[in-house]
Every structure is written in C-alpha cells, then in structure tokens.
Structure 1
Amino acid sequence: MDATFKTVGKPPGATPATAWWRSVGLRQIRLACGLVLFAYLLSHFLNHALGNISLDALQAGVIIHAGFWQSFPVAEIFYSAVTIHGALGIWALYERRQFRWRAIEPLQLVLGLSIPALIVAHVVAVRLGQNLFDIDRSYPQVFYGWITSPLRTWSMYLVVLVSWLHGCIGLYFWLRLKVYFKRVAPYLLAAAVLIPTLALLGIFQGKREVEAKLASPQWQAANLNETRLGTEPQQQTLGDLTDQLLIGYAALLALVLAARGIRQVVEQRAGMINLAYGDGRKIRVPTGLSVLEASLRHRVPHASVCGGRARCSTCRIRITSDIGNLPAPSAREAFILSRIGTGADPAVRLACQLRPTTDVAFVQLFAPQVTSANAHASQPARIGQERYLVCMFVDMRGSTMLAEKRLPYDTVFIVNRFLDAVSQAVIASGGQPNQFIGDGELALFGLACDPQTACRQALQAARLIAENIDALNLALAHDLPQPLRFGIGIHGGEVIVGDIGYRDHMVFTALGDAVNVAARLQDMTKSLACEVIISEEVCTTAGLAGDALPQQDVAIRGRAAPMNVRTITDAKVLSSLVTSDMVSAL
C-alpha cells in the first residue's frame, strides 16, 4: 500500500531563526504586547481583590504590584507594550475595511479604543502626579476622590469591565484554535467571571472602609494632606493635562476616521477591479480590499477559520489569471504558505492577505460550507490544528493474490476480519483507527495524550496487532492457503489534523510529514523483510533502550537525508520491549 500526502513543515533551507522571524507579523506583535498588558491587568485586579480583606491588605498588595511592574526592565517592557499595542489598535481602526465579519471583532476594537479615554484621568492623577509633583497617591486617596465625585466610581467600574472584556476576547481569539482549548475552556470561563467580580467587590469594600475612616481627623491629616493629594494649582495642572490628552485622543480618532474616508475616495477614483470566482461569479470592488474582505463585503461565502488573521490557510486561493501584476506576499503570508508546502507556487495566495490592484480570477481551495469562519463554535476539534501525533500505517500482505483465488465477498470478509483485528489492537492501546485504504489502515495516537504516551501506545498496538493476527490465522486456518501477513510503519511528528473532504463526504484525518514517512516505512517492510519499522523519533520519545532493536539508516522517498530506524522481523518481540512500566502508564 502506498499513499501520498501533502507535506507540512519548514520551507527548504530555512533555519529556525529565519522561520520564526518570517512567522512574525503585526498581529503576532499585537498579541505579544496584549499578553503583557493582560498580565498587568491580572496582577492589578488580584490586588483590587485584596480589598475584600482590608484596606491594609490593599496597601500591602500594591507595594508588591508596583515594585514588580516599576522595576527595570519590567517597566521598559510594560510601557513599550502599552505604546505598541495602542498604536496597533489605532492602525487596526484605519486598516480594517470590513466590520461585518462577526459582531465580536468590532466589539473588541471599540472596547480597546475606549480604554485610553476611560483611564486617562486615573493615569494622570496617579502616575503623572507622582512623576511631575511627587504626589504620593494610593488607594485611600483614589477612593477619597471617588467619594467626592461619584461619577468617577462608575467610570472605574466601567473601565474594569471594559478592559477585562477586551483582554478576554483577545485571549479567546488566540486560544480558540489550540488543541487544548476545549479542555481548559470551563476553567478559563470561571476565572474570567470570578477575577473581575472579586476585583469590583474589593474596590467597593475598600471605598466603604475609607468612607468610615473619614470620620477620624487623625486619618484625614495623615492621608488627605497636600503630599498625598497635591496642592490646588497642582490639581488644576493635572486636570488641564487630562482634558488636553482627552481632546488629543479624540482628535486622533477623528483623524483616523477622516483618513479612512479619504482612502475610500482615493481608492474609488483609482479605479475598480473585477474579482472572478471559479464558479462563474464576478464582483467589482475598489482597489485596496483584500480578496477575503471583498468576498465578505459582497456576501460571497469564503472559508476563514482564523477570521482573516493569517493564522491559518483555509482562506487560500489559486490564481487562474495572470500572476505577474500581483503584489508580493508579505513575510507573514510567505511563512504560512511555506508551512503548508506551497511557498514555491506563486499562484497560491492567502485571500486575507492578497490585495490585488488589477483584475484577478481565482478558485477557492477550501469549500466555504466546510470551514466557515465560525466553524470552531460547533466542532472545535475538527478544524485544522497543528499538533504532535504518532502515525501508524498497517497493510495486509498478499491481498491481490488472495482476491484472485476467491469470490469477491469472501475476500471482503477476510479483509474486514484483518482490519477488525488491527482496529481492536489500536483502540485497546489508546489509539484511533483513522482511514481504511483498501486492505490497509492509518491509525493515529496522541489525539488526547502527550507525545511520550502516544509513542508507547503505538508500540503497544504493534504488539497487539501481531497477537490478534496470529489468533485470526488460527481461526481461519482451514480457509487460508497461507497465514495472513502484515507490514507496519510508525513515525511521529507535527501534523495538521482536521476535516478533509467535500460537503457530506468528510473525513477527519492528519496531513503532514509524519504521515508520509509512516506510509513509506510501512512500504519498506517488504524490501527489508520485516514486519515493523519504527522511526528513531518514536523509539527515543517512548523511552526505548538504545540497543533494544537493530538500527539502520534508510533512504526515504521525498527526503534528502537518510533516516535512522529500528527494524523488527517479528512484531511479537515487542512483548519484551514494551515494559510493564510503559503499559501501566498507558
């Protein structure tokens, strides 16, 4: 049995550093900065939650919080993240041409852009007050300001909810395609609800304690003096600065919106272009839109699992018209195309990144009905995901000769019994039978476990397959001229798993180098006269002793360098190699 699958991996000649650099785009930078800001938010909210204990606990917590975030180089990283994340948010407002993708995306953008306006007064009073006038404000002084101006209280309650919701939406977009997201989602949801609730309650309790302490002249003298609150001129200066920053920020947003309008006029005057789909549909759009944006604007179904963030390749298209006038791929687009093995084909592009300036004809490579933009909501485990799996190919030897001497139904019966024996061994070991190709089977290990366990499961399955086939040969001895024989190839590595097919004919399977190599190893069992070939990767990860099996280097079709493998003439010898410790860990 032979099988051909598309290789997913690094582009030829790419070093790890080069591959990493090509993978970085504006969205990855914004995500990294957002994670820094979310970590600060989490730390600050946990500090707020100490108000449920006492005001003194709040004060003790803020010393630790401020000591960490104001230390070098943490402060440099934090303020750089604030600047970059904010600037990229403004850029996203200008760059985004299509806001009808999903309601949650424009909501996240609006929430993010509203945060500076909501926190500017607090930042100016606390941080700039200290930097400019050495005013030592902390929780008692902030709560006192809220007491004298109740509107500030509701403003800060609002900013807690807005900033937390903005951060959680960003985390959701980042984590939703991760293989472990479904498993950890309930815990993340509990934390997402509990943390801001405790923070708001802590703020409320701290404010109540300050209100009670206001009756004490001694407390007022110690906490509400000019050193803590600033003089009237200083407060006036800080108030004026707050107003100026708010006006400046509003002017910046207005300028961005005006720039969007100017761009639209310029693009329309620059001319319209035609986008022709493979099904005969044609739309006319202004230059500047990406192909995906154009599809969504005109309500043309277009697959996009990641929502146009260049984090997947489901929106990719094949250009069928002249490619000479297309803009060159960005570094991020080139990286994604290289990862899926199409980097050398200039006709394959990502629809979310390609912004054509001339007429373009193309065909979509993924059916929109299969991988819609919100497909993750209904089947999160069946979208294309990259993960480590161990792939096992098992093939029955001599099936052609068997079919020549038997009735078709008899042959099908024997092949099914063979596949039953193989599948039972795979399932008993913790794997999943995946594809049945003629008289062969592809099994996957590691869909719900770590790589070491997956490798051990595959070795266990190979042993059980040999035992099951022996039992089957004994049961069919009266009906078989010679015992059934088999070949097994096992290899592990990073693959893409997801639904492949057309409409109602979908198959959940794996694509990648590990699948290719496992198929090649299975095929090589014929020429090497053995039952099982296992890659060194699987043996090492499983913890198999280095001298447990004979080793040799073999040439793998499609690979430049030879691969070190272990060959097993009789699969039943794995009984002594798959130790009791390994079996108990499965």
Structure 2
Amino acid sequence: MNHMASPSREHLQDMARGVGLRQVRLVSGAIMFAYLVSHFLNHALGNISVDAMMIGVHYHTMFWQFLPVAILFYGACLVHTALGIWALYQRREFRWKAIEPLQLALGLSIPMLIIAHIVGVRLGQALYGHEKLYPQELYTFFIASPNRLWTMLAVLVIAWVHGCIGLYFWLRMRAFFKRAAPLLLAAAVLIPTLAMLGIYQGGRATMSDWEDADWRKQELSVAKFGTAAQGKMLDSITDYLIYGYLGLLGLVLVARAGRALLERRGGMIALSYGNGRTLRVPRGLSVLEASLRYNVPHASVCGGRARCSTCRIRIIGDHAALPEPSPREAFVLHRVGSDDPSIRLACQLRPNADLTFFQLFLPHTMSANASADHPARVGQERYLVSMFVDMRGSTQLAEKRLPFDTVFIVNRFLGAVSQAVLEAGGRPNQFIGDGMLALFGLTTGREEACRQALRAAALIAANIDELNQFLSHDLREPIRFGIGIHGGEVIVGDIGYRDHMVFTALGDAVNVAARLQDMTKSLACEAVISDEVRALAGVAEDALPAQEVAIRGRNEPMLVRAVESTRGLSALVAERRAVAA
C-alpha cells in the first residue's frame, strides 16, 4: 500500500510545485470569463424581449449568487485584480509584444469603469434592498442618463477583449488550438455583438414601455430605485472607491519609480552571454528581461511566463550563490528532465552578482533572404508518442564494405523503417546516422497514437524481413534493429538557425524513448515500450512481460514491457480492436 501511495504523493507534490501566480491568474480569470459569457448571453436575450432577459437573469442570479459559487466568484475577482496590480509593479520590461501591455492596461481599467454598476446594483441591494434589474438599468441607460450607456458598452468591450487575450495566451500552445481557432474567433465576435444588440433592443422596448404610467409606477418605484438620499450615499461610495483605486495605482507607479532608483543606487551587475557579449544591467532584472531591454535575441516561446523551457541558460562557473529556483521554475526544469543546478530559466532567474552563461536554445532568427512564405513554427506543448529505431551492427558493416555500399544498405534500412511508420500513421522526423526518430499523435489522440506506434513496430519487423531476404546474397548476418517507444508531453516546433530550421520534438518523453531503445541491447529484445504506451493502446496487462528499469536522469524506476519479437504487436492491437467492437 505504501508503495502505491508514494507515486500519488509525488504526483501531488509535482502539481503543487507547478502552481504559481500565473496559474492562479489563469484560474481566477477563467472563472470571471465564465461569468462574463453567462452575463453576455443573458444580454443577448434582449433580442427576444425584456421578459426573456428577466427570465434569464433569474437563473443567472440563482447560480452566481448561490453561496459557494458567490464566494468563489468574488474571491476570483479580488485575486485577479490584485494580481493585475502586482503585475504592474513587478514587471520591469513591457517590450515583449504590444498585445501584452494592452491586456494589462485593459484589465486595470475594468474595475474603475464598473465600480458604479457594482455599487448601484449589488451594494444597493445589500444596503437598502433595491431591486435593480433589466427594466431599471435599461431605463437609466436609455432615458435617465444616456451617457452611462456608452460607459457600460465600453466596459463590456474592454472586459471581453481582455478575457479573449488571456484565453489566447493560454490556449495558443495547445494541440487543438489551430483546429478550434475559427470557432473560437466566431464565438469571440458573435457573443458580444449579440449582447450589445440585445441591450439595444431591450432599450427600445423600455423606451416604449416608459410611456405607460402603470409601468413607470411599478418599475420606477422607491422600492426598486431607492430614495434620493440613498442614491446620493451610493454615489459618494462610488466616488470614494474610484479615488481609492486610482490612488492605489498611483502608489504602484511611485513604488516602481522608487524601485528603479534603488536598483540604480544598488549598483550594476555584468551579464556575460558566453559569446563575448557582456551587458551592465541593474541588479534585480531577470536574465530574459535584461536581454529584451538591451535588444539581445533570446528564445522564449511562452513570453517569459515559465510555461516553456526555451529560455533555458547554462551557468558557467560557480552557481551556488544564485537565488534558489522558485517552485514554478523547479517544476518546469524537472518536467523537461533538467535537474542540473547549473541550468536555469532566464525568465525566472534574477541574479544578484555578475553572471556568465550561454543560451541552450538559439532564438529563431531569419536570414535576410529567408522566405516569408515559410515562417518558423512556434513551439506547441502536446502529447506525442516517440519511437527511436536503431540499426544494429552498422559499424561492423562499414568495416567490411565500401562506403557507398554501406550508405546504400543504411538507406534501404531507413527507407523500410520510414515506410512502416508512414503506413501506420506516424511521421519520420529525424535521421541520426543509422537511426531514426518517428513521431505519432500529430493528428490523432493519444490512444490512437500509441496503437499506431505498436503497429509501426510490427510493420518495421515485416519490412526488415523482406529487406534481409532481398540482401541475403550480400549480408553475412541479417540486419537487426532495436526500438524504444514512450509517450508524454513534449514541445514541438521548428529549431535550428536561420534557413536551416527543422521541425522536431523536445522533451523528457523523447529522451526516455531513446534510452529505452538502448536497453534493447542489454535486454536482448527487439523493442522496449513503456507501460503507459501499452495501457493507452489497450493491450492486455498480461500480454507482454513487465519489469522495472532505471532510467538515467530519473529518480524513480520505470515500468516497461520488453518485446522479444515485434511481429506479434500488430496482432495484440488488432485483438484489442476486436474486443472493443
């Protein structure tokens, strides 16, 4: 029992280490965006009638004012606002992309624009029992104070654009984003458009109803609007809250200026990039912020949010005096298998003393004559199954043949392997000497990717049998091979330099697949596959022998399946399909 509980505890610990301010901001923002969508859809009912809006707001309020949901929602509002103010203070460099400071500015403007609405509706209800719903609000916007209508429409647009930018930053690295982008764009345009049209139609209906004396007596009563003294008190509260919020933003800007002054007085440090370039920067900047401030190219797919590891640097010399990695940085480094303390994330490391390092990933720099029709593909994080295939005995083969003969045989081997991978639905990716990396899952789900990889292993064996028969007159021994298969989250994208860019996958799962392929030598088998791939492919647990092996770079042993002959893997996958049918 303890043995089974340990991985669970470690998994929870890894999850806890992966939670940072960015993750809290995402969750709180997602809760607020869900409320915004609900509110906009309620507004859109105005295209039917004001009565439809009233029915919708009844269920909308019933859900969002349910005590646990209300606590979660208002907590998310406070946390998200506080994190926005903190981001204004913390961020030293705003030259990532124009869309990022725009998102921050829009987000910080929302509380100031919406305070009057919150005080008038929510606080008025809590303090005085006011019942301001759609008829009262539409009367205010279209008849009593038309200028407030434009403020409310502005805040709707600002809040929606702010939320959509946040969703874009969150989802753009997901595998499904490219396919879902047209639908998401359609929703991003239609929902606010229908909401504002609903407000307009509801306003027209209210202007017509206002001519009815009975309607005015019922909907504009003191019970719903309150007295003049109560309205004056709510207006005073609104003014104080707006002044207080503006004062808080002013204090943050003063604090930023004070911090900059202290940093200049605190001295400068030298950042040496390992290529002869050295910068003198204020103490307190992260390495990535320093690179951006002084226009030094530095790879960073996620924009400095510690969601990728492309900004990694290797420290040259003593790294003991550096600040300890934050839990989020430690999580990212552990996830990509970088437990070396000399490797750090440039976006998280804020050195206090001179530092010498070099970048592990060169930034994507296009040459002057590079074709604009083939831009570098930005990295995406997704689940793929990696397969390493290696030809055995190629060194001895080269010793006894002319170079061109050896190249011919190796090319026939790689051709046979590539044909099997393509036939199974995978993609040959990298050719490394007499070996190859193949990827599965670029266009399918993880279960199908695992089944494709197992079918490819069986097809490789069949193709190599045919190749051995074809070359039997020229080979003293038949060609043998080793295969390693493992699945996991990786970063896929273009890497390289200028016009020498290649599409590939980077991550711990790829490294593990390569090491499993190496194990086929010591285990005297044709393939070693991780138990995760076996389970996702739907192969029965007792179909293949299991054993725990130590993987270099991992603390815990890994459960794998040794396959003596890969020819039977296709039957196991077919059997699984027959059982499922």
TM-score, normalising length: structure 1: 0.90
* Alignment CA distance shift 1:536-1:326 (3 Å): closer
Check conservation: 1:460, 1:583, Cα contact below 8 A: no
1:207 aligned onto 2:203: yes
* Alignment CA distance shift 1:113-1:569 (3 Å): closer
Which residue of 38, 47, 53 maps to 1:43?
38
Partner of 2:4 in structure 1? none
Partner of 1:461 in structure 2? 456
What is the letter of the counterpart of residue 450 of structure 1? G
What is the letter of the counterpart of residue 155 of structure 1? T
Question: 1: distance between equivalents of 2:327 and 2:525?
Answer: 46
Question: 2: distance between equivalents of 1:491 and 1:340?
Answer: 15
Which residue of 398, 407, 413 maps to 2:402?
407
* Alignment CA distance shift 1:353-1:526 (3 Å): closer
What is the letter of the counterpart of residue 105 of structure 1? E
How far apart are 1:557 and its partner, in Å? Answer: 4.7
Partner of 1:5 in structure 2? none
Question: 1: distance between equivalents of 2:276 and 2:68?
Answer: 57
Partner of 1:23 in structure 2? 18
3-state DSSP class of the match of 2:164? helix
Larger mean CA deviation between 280-289 and 567-576 belongs to 567-576
1:488 aligned onto 2:491: no
Check conservation: 1:322, 1:360, Cα contact below 8 A: no
1:259 aligned onto 2:258: no
How far apart are 1:502 and its partner, in Å? Answer: 4.2
1:179 aligned onto 2:175: yes
* Alignment CA distance shift 1:142-1:319 (3 Å): same
How far apart are 1:464 and its partner, in Å? Answer: 1.6
How far apart are 1:440 and its partner, in Å? Answer: 1.9
Which residue of 410, 419, 428 maps to 1:433?
428
* Alignment CA distance shift 1:367-1:583 (3 Å): farther
Which residue of 540, 547, 550 maps to 1:553?
547
Partner of 1:358 in structure 2? 353
How far apart are 1:64 and its partner, in Å? Answer: 0.6
* Alignment CA distance shift 1:482-1:300 (3 Å): closer
- Unaligned regions of 5+ residues in structure 1, if any? 1-11, 372-376
Question: 2: distance between equivalents of 1:446 and 1:174?
Answer: 21
3-state DSSP class of the match of 1:436? strand
Larger mean CA deviation between 86-95 and 574-583 belongs to 574-583
* Alignment CA distance shift 1:518-1:315 (3 Å): closer
How far apart are 1:142 and its partner, in Å? Answer: 0.3
Question: 2: distance between equivalents of 1:36 and 1:63?
Answer: 20
List per-residue Cα deviations over 1:265-314 (Å, max 9, x = no partner).
22222222332222222222222222222221222222221111122222
Partner of 2:437 in structure 1? 442
How far apart are 1:423 and its partner, in Å? Answer: 0.6
3-state DSSP class of the match of 1:401? helix
What is the letter of the counterpart of residue 70 of structure 2? A
* Alignment CA distance shift 1:127-1:106 (3 Å): same
* Alignment CA distance shift 1:379-1:540 (3 Å): farther
How far apart are 1:408 and its partner, in Å? Answer: 1.6
Which residue of 82, 85, 89 maps to 1:94?
89
3-state DSSP class of the match of 1:368? coil
Partner of 2:69 in structure 1? 74
3-state DSSP class of the match of 2:67? coil
3-state DSSP class of the match of 1:99? coil
List per-residue Cα deviations over 1:320-352 (Å, max 9, x = no partner).
35435433322222222232333441x322222
* Alignment CA distance shift 1:393-1:291 (3 Å): closer
Check conservation: 1:384, 1:499, Cα contact below 8 A: yes
How far apart are 1:547 and its partner, in Å? Answer: 3.5
Check conservation: 1:317, 1:364, Cα contact below 8 A: yes
How far apart are 1:488 and its partner, in Å? Answer: 2.5
How far apart are 1:103 and its partner, in Å? Answer: 0.8
Check conservation: 1:326, 1:357, Cα contact below 8 A: yes
Partner of 2:286 in structure 1? 290
1:579 aligned onto 2:574: yes
Check conservation: 2:364, 2:376, Cα contact below 8 A: no
How far apart are 1:528 and its partner, in Å? Answer: 4.2
What is the letter of the counterpart of residue 246 of structure 2? A
Which residue of 155, 159, 183 maps to 2:155?
159
Question: 2: distance between equivalents of 1:344 and 1:332?
Answer: 16
How far apart are 1:134 and its partner, in Å? Answer: 0.5
* Alignment CA distance shift 1:211-1:432 (3 Å): same
What is the letter of the counterpart of residue 555 of structure 1? V
How far apart are 1:199 and its partner, in Å? Answer: 0.6
Question: 1: distance between equivalents of 2:424 and 2:177?
Answer: 25
Which residue of 514, 518, 523 maps to 1:523?
518
Question: 2: distance between equivalents of 1:174 and 1:485?
Answer: 45
Check conservation: 1:136, 1:229, Cα contact below 8 A: yes
Partner of 1:146 in structure 2? 141
List per-residue Cα deviations over 1:14-61 (Å, max 9, x = no partner).
812222222122222111111111111111011111111110010000
Larger mean CA deviation between 66-75 and 260-269 belongs to 260-269
List per-residue Cα deviations over 1:39-89 (Å, max 9, x = no partner).
111110111111111100100000111111111100001111111111111
3-state DSSP class of the match of 2:122? helix
Check conservation: 1:517, 1:556, Cα contact below 8 A: no
How far apart are 1:168 and its partner, in Å? Answer: 0.6
Partner of 2:3 in structure 1? none
List per-residue Cα deviations over 1:461-497 (Å, max 9, x = no partner).
1222222223323333444444433333323333443
Check conservation: 2:538, 2:576, Cα contact below 8 A: no
**Number of aligned residue pairs:** 568
1:474 aligned onto 2:444: no
* Alignment CA distance shift 1:309-1:248 (3 Å): same
Cα RMSD (Å): 2.7
Question: 2: distance between equivalents of 1:409 and 1:474?
Answer: 20
* Alignment CA distance shift 1:370-1:449 (3 Å): farther
Which residue of 326, 330, 338 maps to 1:330?
326
Check conservation: 1:433, 1:441, Cα contact below 8 A: yes
Partner of 1:270 in structure 2? 266
Question: 2: distance between equivalents of 1:134 and 1:30?
Answer: 33
Check conservation: 1:389, 1:447, Cα contact below 8 A: yes
1:229 aligned onto 2:200: no
What is the letter of the counterpart of residue 217 of structure 1? A
* Alignment CA distance shift 1:325-1:486 (3 Å): closer
Larger mean CA deviation between 206-215 and 389-398 belongs to 389-398
3-state DSSP class of the match of 2:481? strand
* Alignment CA distance shift 1:20-1:520 (3 Å): closer
Check conservation: 2:538, 2:573, Cα contact below 8 A: no
Question: 2: distance between equivalents of 1:78 and 1:220?
Answer: 34
Larger mean CA deviation between 256-265 and 59-68 belongs to 256-265
Check conservation: 1:435, 1:442, Cα contact below 8 A: yes
What is the letter of the counterpart of residue 25 of structure 2? R
Question: 1: distance between equivalents of 2:567 and 2:278?
Answer: 61
3-state DSSP class of the match of 1:302? coil
Partner of 1:387 in structure 2? 382
Question: 1: distance between equivalents of 2:521 and 2:335?
Answer: 32
Check conservation: 2:549, 2:559, Cα contact below 8 A: no
Percent identical: 63
Question: 1: distance between equivalents of 2:248 and 2:137?
Answer: 29
TM-score, normalising length: structure 2: 0.91
